[in-house]
């Protein structure tokens, strides 16, 4: 099948760029001919909340044969991109949707396809609506998603949310696949801690990825003194760039007397360092208050690292070595963290890494089948 895939890839950073790259790789491995279309520019500098939207990794995950045709702020590039798309003559067009900022771009391409090309259009939804929704987001989402012949989401919750916007939509579910691309870089825990300058005699909790309000870091900080009361000293490592006000979290850390129990690595973690953090950790804690799918949890699955997360996830969204707690229930969060650490100390199995699991190996193929309209 000839497939045109639209989405960010390197040099842009982040989970969706990784996702697009691995999806492209799987499509090629499955024998499809792929036109991978990415961006010259994604966001204006003033709009991006982080330090940069470019990947600082020395050894980044690279996509095969991307075409950097689109400037999100230059409609002329949208028209020239469609002309090239028309020349390619795809059987299927896949657009990546995660923020209404790109609604004018995707609307234009979808409209041109309907008028002049008439190829099947599938929209791959990372988020139906943003985590921090504003008043125009639903209107913009409907304006684009309504053009799709089919829509693929990552969970039952997202399907319900989408059908609330477009009751007649043809919606399929493909859970977020496992991120196993760094699993081969896993090293012994003692070595990883030495390289990161972490103690070897304390349990290490990991909070990984961009810090945003919905990810519940404040809830984890509130729970940490009770965890220490139950099992003694632990170290929480916060590894990721703050898109919230970092000073507010630092103030909470001081107020709770956790200065010696929390380490903050406030930066985007490059690809070559991901394995260090997951190798060093005993447990990933992701107490998200709302979520659509999580690349971070799928990283943990790739490393076989146990996870404590919340019931905001569908059960299919996380790997067997995970515990789910009620959103906002501090007692459940404390109990799950204590229980997971106790299991780790007694040597209880925490699950296979993704590279050992046939079901995980099939997760990207399942996504491909969902996109092309076939069951796996």
Write the pLDDT tens digit of every residue in 171-182.
999 988 988 888
- The answer to whether domain 2-178+359-372 and domain 183-356 are alike in fold is yes
Of 208, 209, 214, the closest CA to residue 133 belongs to 214
Mean pLDDT confidence for 203-217 = 94
- Higher-confidence position of 7 and 344: 7
Q: Which fold has domain 183-356?
A: Rossmann fold (3.40.50)
What does the pLDDT look like over 95-142, one tens digit per residue?
999 999 999 999 999 999 999 999 999 999 999 998 878 889 999 999
Over residues 280-323, the pLDDT tens digits come to 999 999 998 877 677 898 899 889 899 998 876 665 455 555 78
Q: Facing residues of 70 across strands?
A: 39
H or E element at residue 223: helix 217-231
Domain ranges of the chain: 2-178+359-372, 183-356
pTM of the model: 0.92
- Per the document, the length of the chain is 376
pLDDT confidence band for 195 (50 / 70 / 90): very high
Q: Give residues with Cβ within 8 angstroms of 193, minimum separation 6.
A: 199, 200, 204, 280
Structure tokens at 274: 């991901």
Q: Which CATH code fits 2-178+359-372? A: 3.40.50.2000
CB under 8 Å to 239, separation ≥6 — which residues? Answer: 206, 207, 208, 209, 265, 269, 277
């Amino acid at each position: 099948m000839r497939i045109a895939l639209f989405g960010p890839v390197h040099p842009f950073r982040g989970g969706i760029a990784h996702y697009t790259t691995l999806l492209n790789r799987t499509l090629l491995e499955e024998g499809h001919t792929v036109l991978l279309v990415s961006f010259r520019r994604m966001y204006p500098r003033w709009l991006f909340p982080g330090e940069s939207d470019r990947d600082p990794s020395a050894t980044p995950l690279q996509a095969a044969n991307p075409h950097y045709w689109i400037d999100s702020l230059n409609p002329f590039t949208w028209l020239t991109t469609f002309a090239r798309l028309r020349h390619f003559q795809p059987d299927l067009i896949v657009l990546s949707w995660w923020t209404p900022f790109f609604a004018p771009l995707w609307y234009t391409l979808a409209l041109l396809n309907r008028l002049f090309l008439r190829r099947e259009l599938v929209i791959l939804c990372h988020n139906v609506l943003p985590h921090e929704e504003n008043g125009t987001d639903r209107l913009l989402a409907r304006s684009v998603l309504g053009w799709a012949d089919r829509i693929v989401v990552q969970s039952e919750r997202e399907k319900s949310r989408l059908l609330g916007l477009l009751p007649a939509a043809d919606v399929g579910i493909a859970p977020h696949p496992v991120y196993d691309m760094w699993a081969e870089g896993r090293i012994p825990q003692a070595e990883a801690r030495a390289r990161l300058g972490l103690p070897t005699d304390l349990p290490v909790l990991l909070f990984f990825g961009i810090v945003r309000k919905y990810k519940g870091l404040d809830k984890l900080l509130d729970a940490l003194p009770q965890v220490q009361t139950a099992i003694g000293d632990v170290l929480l490592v916060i590894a990721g760039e703050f898109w919230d006000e970092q000073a507010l979290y630092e103030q909470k850390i001081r107020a709770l007397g956790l200065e010696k129990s929390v380490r903050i690595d406030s930066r985007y973690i490059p690809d070559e360092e991901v394995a260090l953090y997951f190798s060093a950790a005993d447990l990933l804690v992701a107490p998200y208050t709302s979520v659509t799918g999580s690349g971070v949890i799928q990283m943990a699955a790739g490393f076989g690292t146990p996870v404590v997360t919340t019931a905001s996830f569908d059960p299919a969204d996380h790997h067997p070595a995970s515990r789910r707690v009620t959103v906002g229930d501090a007692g459940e969060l404390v109990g799950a963290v204590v229980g997971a650490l106790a299991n780790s100390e007694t040597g209880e199995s925490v699950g296979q890494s993704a590279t050992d699991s046939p079901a995980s190996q099939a997760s990207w193929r399942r996504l491909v089948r969902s996109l092309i309209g076939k069951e796996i």
